[in-house]
């Protein structure tokens, strides 16, 4: 029993090994692997790779984000299953080459001259003819020379027959077709090997077997422990190197899904100057970095310039210009209060740094984080697709709102007007609970084309949201003080009451005090609604002055809700027009009061004042939703640029190039080179020879039919007695 079982085991093992080899070397298995690789490559192209986990959660939700992370779709090209598929493809293609290449190489040497005359009759292309007066040997010599002159390789064979010696002329052409098969399959192996070499396989191997782990903390690079660092002798890597102007760095960052690895370089890169050139529209046309490479071993300093698509190579490491960033620019901001109780103040900082704010006017300490400085901001002011529905800070993006209130004449379809709107500052305000909002404010006013320049104050709750912009009108002095004074005065009930009294007195003749009192009451209620002061409206909390959840809500929306709740629909249009006119008049008096208190001349009754007031009313309405007690205005800055280089040591690059060249040659050879074989059997007959000719080709095409017809006429030199060479498409040879 045991002997029999052992015998079955020995019989099974070679069979299993043979079956596994057949599977790995099969074309279906290789095509299946290639299909999976193609799908994975599409996923890696569509889905951003190596993003923070929160980005995937914000974009796809927790369920899909967890699924993507579990399948390593956020790092497809370094995922274990992708590397395993590449390895299987290399093994499969190598086995296929090992199985078929020897037969193809042997076939290249073989002329198959031993084929019999009866076998020639079975070919699709065949013909026979009598060569009178020409002995078989002489005919064989003549036919062989003709074929050699036509690019064929020829071998002659003499055979005895009952009637005398016969001669076989065996010729072949197009052997590159079979070499193309070997070249194309070898190319797949080389490309996959190059991908494995230049991918994360070696880095992953160091993490699996060398004790290297990603670093997920913060702090200085010098403080990171050795288990998070890769040696400068690492044979392959690809990472980012950030260098600020006037500094140098020798440590690249390799981003991993759960942290970063630090790659030590055998040299330091010093950034002398980052160069950017622009077109007349303000769009960039050149990014370049003037650098000095300091060799750690020799101390040699090598100056170089890195441009986009023009990398610098040093000691086998390629240095590419990837992008640029801020290198720690110094900025000076001026805080402007948006709510009563806050005071203006100046603050200085460095991009990437932060400072603690205690006098914010909101009663709680906040942290101001300086996140970005952009000296140039090129926006499209001419594309109709950029038009939005308004400048409401709650729902409008800059590109969608910059033309929101322009006339129809500005909505030219397809028109583009690129304009540099000047520097901007980005910052975050973080509260005591750690929650932060991001702000993006422009330094200079922007002329949107409607005659009233505005300051653009952007805000968003999360990085995944688009920026929404509050448009603050520029006052007669060229700043935003006029609007901010109105904003603070609107929140003060005493100043609102004084403005209402002034408006009523100016609008009504002094002989009718009862009408002035009634107008003052209406104006006061309108201003209170507009300011979101529910207590001052004199009505119930649900009369339109509050939003969902009982929260105070002001602005034009509060006026609209009040009219909808308290005025019959038939009278609503006329009543709204009257109420808005009263509101505008009261706000104009409020603006005049604030100017008087600031020691400024009153606003004249002209077009510029009307444009300012129109935008001020809209902006005051939108400012009800502005989520911060302070606005930080960029006053001055000293820009420090930083270059982001991609540094790569890619030994597989040349292997991939070789594989691509072989792939091109192999595919060309297989598609455009026809493998043909020709036999002419010359048997003695009477005083001459009888010729039997046959042609074999790997593809039956019209070209093969024409070639056979030409060879038949050229070689046999006589009318054929029988021929059977019908073209596959029904033509006549």
- Among 21-30, 403-412, 516-525, whose mean pLDDT is lowest? 403-412
Give yes or no on whether 117-174+675-716 and 212-235+237-326+642-649 have one common fold: no
Alpha-carbon span 401 to 392, nearest angstrom = 8
Alpha-carbon span 456 to 426, nearest angstrom = 12
Q: Report the pLDDT averaged over residues 385-397.
A: 36
Confidence (pLDDT) at 545: 47
Alpha-carbon span 311 to 446, nearest angstrom = 38
The separation between CA 98 and the C-alpha centre of its own chain, rounded to angstroms, equals: 40
Alpha-carbon span 498 to 680, nearest angstrom = 118
Instruction: Please give the helix or strand (H or E) that residue 511 lies within, else none.
Output: none
Confidence (pLDDT) at 269: 95
Burial class of 479 by CB neighbour count within 10 A (0 to 12, 13 to 18, 19+)? middle
CATH 3.30.750 fits 212-235+237-326+642-649, yes or no: no
User: Does residue 350 have a pLDDT over 70?
Assistant: yes
Name the phi and psi angles at 717, rounded to 5.
60, 20
Domain ranges (residues) in the chain:
18-107, 117-174+675-716, 212-235+237-326+642-649, 328-380+418-476+627-639, 482-538+552-602
Whether the Cβ atoms of residue 632 and residue 427 lie closer than 8 Å to each other? yes
Number of neighbouring beta carbons within 10 Å of residue 538: 12
- Concatenating the DSSP letter of every residue in 496-559 gives HHHHHHHHHHHHS-TT-HHHHHHHHHHHHHHHHHHHT-SGGG-S-TTSSSB-GGG-B--HHHHH
DSSP code of residue 146 = H
Please, where are the H alpha helices in 306-365?
none
Name the phi and psi angles at 32, rounded to 5.
-60, -45
Confidence (pLDDT) at 408: 38
Whether the Cβ atoms of residue 659 and residue 89 lie closer than 8 Å to each other? no
- Among 32-41, 288-297, 387-396, whose mean pLDDT is lowest? 387-396
Alpha-carbon span 157 to 134, nearest angstrom = 17
Averaged pLDDT of the chain = 82
Q: 117-174+675-716 has which fold? A: TATA-Binding Protein (3.30.310)
Confidence (pLDDT) at 362: 64
pLDDT band at 165 (very low <50, low <70, confident <90, very high): confident
β-bridge partners, 166: 159
Confidence (pLDDT) at 192: 87
Cα-only R_g, the chain = 42
Whether the Cβ atoms of residue 163 and residue 687 lie closer than 8 Å to each other? no
DSSP code of residue 290 = E
User: Does residue 109 have a pLDDT over 60?
Assistant: yes
Confidence (pLDDT) at 318: 93
Could you report the per-residue pLDDT of 645-677, keeping only the tens digit for each? 999 998 888 888 999 999 999 999 888 888 999
The separation between CA 443 and the C-alpha centre of its own chain, rounded to angstroms, equals: 29
Q: What pTM does this model have?
A: 0.64
Could you report the per-residue pLDDT of 1-12, keeping only the tens digit for each? 444 343 444 444
Q: Report the pLDDT averaged over residues 526-534.
A: 82
Name the phi and psi angles at 571, rounded to 5.
-105, 0
Q: Report the pLDDT averaged over residues 240-265.
A: 89
| Of 12-26, 183-197, 379-393, 535-549, highest mean pLDDT | 183-197
Sign of torsion, CA 376 377 382 383?
Answer: positive
User: Does residue 263 have a pLDDT over 90?
Assistant: yes
Name the more confident of 19 and 111: 111
% pLDDT > 90, the chain? 35
Could you report the per-residue pLDDT of 603-638, keeping only the tens digit for each? 998 889 999 999 999 999 998 888 888 999 999 999
User: Does residue 568 have a pLDDT over 70?
Assistant: yes
Strand 259-278 and strand 229-230: pairing? parallel
Alpha-carbon span 558 to 546, nearest angstrom = 7
| Residue of 307, 333, 335, 331 lying closest to 319 (CA atoms) | 307
């Amino acid at each position: 029993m045991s002997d029999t079982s052992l015998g079955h085991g020995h019989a099974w093992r070679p069979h299993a090994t043979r079956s596994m080899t057949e599977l790995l070397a099969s074309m279906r298995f290789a095509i299946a692997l290639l299909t999976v690789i193609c799908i994975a490559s599409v996923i890696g192209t569509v889905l951003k790779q190596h993003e923070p986990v929160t980005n995937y959660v914000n974009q796809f939700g927790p369920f899909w984000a967890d699924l993507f992370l579990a399948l390593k779709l956020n790092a497809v090209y370094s995922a274990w299953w992708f590397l395993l598929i590449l390895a299987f493809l290399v093994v499969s293609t190598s086995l296929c080459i090992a199985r078929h290449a020897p037969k193809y190489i042997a076939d290249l040497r073989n002329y198959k001259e031993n084929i019999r005359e009866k076998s020639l009759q079975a070919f699709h292309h065949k013909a026979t003819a009598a060569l009178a007066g020409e002995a078989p040997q002489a005919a064989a010599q003549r036919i062989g020379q003709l074929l050699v002159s036509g690019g064929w390789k020829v071998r002659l064979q003499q055979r005895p027959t009952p009637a005398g010696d016969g001669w076989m002329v065996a010729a072949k052409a197009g052997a590159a077709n079979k070499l193309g098969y070997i070249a194309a399959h070898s190319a797949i192996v080389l490309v996959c090997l190059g991908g494995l070499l230049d991918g994360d396989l070696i880095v992953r191997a160091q993490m699996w077997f060398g004790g290297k782990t990603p670093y997920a903390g913060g702090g200085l690079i010098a403080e990171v422990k050795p288990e998070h660092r890769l040696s400068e002798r690492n044979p392959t890597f690809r990472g980012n190197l950030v260098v600020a102007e006037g500094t140098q760095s020798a440590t690249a960052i390799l981003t991993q899904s759960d942290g970063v690895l630090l790659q030590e370089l055998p040299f330091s890169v010093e950034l002398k100057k980052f160069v950017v050139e622009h077109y007349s529209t303000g769009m960039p046309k050149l990014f370049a970095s003037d650098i000095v490479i300091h060799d750690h071993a020799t101390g040699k300093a090598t100056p170089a310039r890195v441009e986009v698509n023009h990398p610098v190579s040093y000691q086998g490491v390629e240095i590419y210009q990837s992008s640029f960033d801020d290198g720690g620019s110094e900025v000076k901001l001026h805080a402007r209060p948006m709510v009563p109780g806050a005071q203006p103040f100046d603050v200085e900082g460095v991009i990437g740094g932060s400072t603690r704010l205690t006098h914010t006017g909101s009663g709680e300490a906040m942290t101001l984080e300086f996140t970005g400085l952009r000296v140039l901001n090129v926006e499209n002011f001419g594309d109709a697709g950029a038009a939005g529905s308004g400048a409401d800070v709650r729902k409008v993006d800059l590109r969608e709102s910059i033309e929101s209130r322009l006339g129809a004449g500005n909505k030219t379809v397809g028109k583009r007007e690129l304009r540099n709107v000047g520097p901007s500052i980005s910052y975050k305000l973080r509260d005591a609970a750690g929650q932060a909002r991001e702000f993006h404010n422009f330094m200079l006013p922007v002329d949107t084309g409607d005659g009233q320049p505005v300051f653009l104050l952007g805000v968003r709750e999360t990085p995944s949201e688009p920026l929404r912009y509050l448009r603050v009108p520029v006052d007669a002095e060229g700043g935003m003080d006029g609007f901010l004074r109105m904003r603070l005065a609107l929140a003060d009930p005493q100043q609102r009451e004084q403005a209402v009294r002034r408006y009523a007195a100016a609008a009504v003749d002094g002989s009718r005090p009862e009408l002035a009192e009634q107008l003052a009451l209406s104006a006061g209620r309108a201003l209170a609604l507009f300011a979101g002061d529910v207590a001052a409206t004199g009505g119930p909390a649900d009369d339109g002055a509050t939003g969902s959840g009982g929260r105070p809500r002001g602005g034009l929306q509060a006026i609209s809700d009040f009219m909808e709740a308290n005025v019959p629909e038939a009278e609503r249009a006329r009543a709204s027009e009257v109420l808005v006119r009263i509101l505008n008049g009261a706000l104009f008096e409020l603006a005049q009061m604030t100017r008087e208190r600031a020691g400024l001349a009153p606003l004249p009754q002209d077009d510029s004042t009307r444009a300012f007031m129109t935008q001020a009313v809209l902006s005051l309405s939108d400012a009800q939703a502005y989520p911060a007690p302070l606005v930080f205005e960029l006053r001055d800055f000293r820009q420090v640029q930083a270059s982001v280089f991609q540094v790569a040591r890619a030994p597989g690059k040349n292997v991939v190039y070789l594989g691509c060249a072989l792939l091109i040659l192999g595919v060309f050879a297989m598609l455009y080179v026809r493998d043909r074989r020709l036999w002419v059997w010359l048997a003695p007959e009477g005083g001459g020879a009888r010729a039997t000719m046959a042609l074999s080709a790997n593809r039956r095409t019209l070209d093969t039919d024409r070639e056979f017809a030409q060879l038949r006429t050229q070689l046999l030199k006589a009318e054929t007695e029988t021929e059977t060479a019908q073209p596959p498409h029904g033509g006549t040879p």
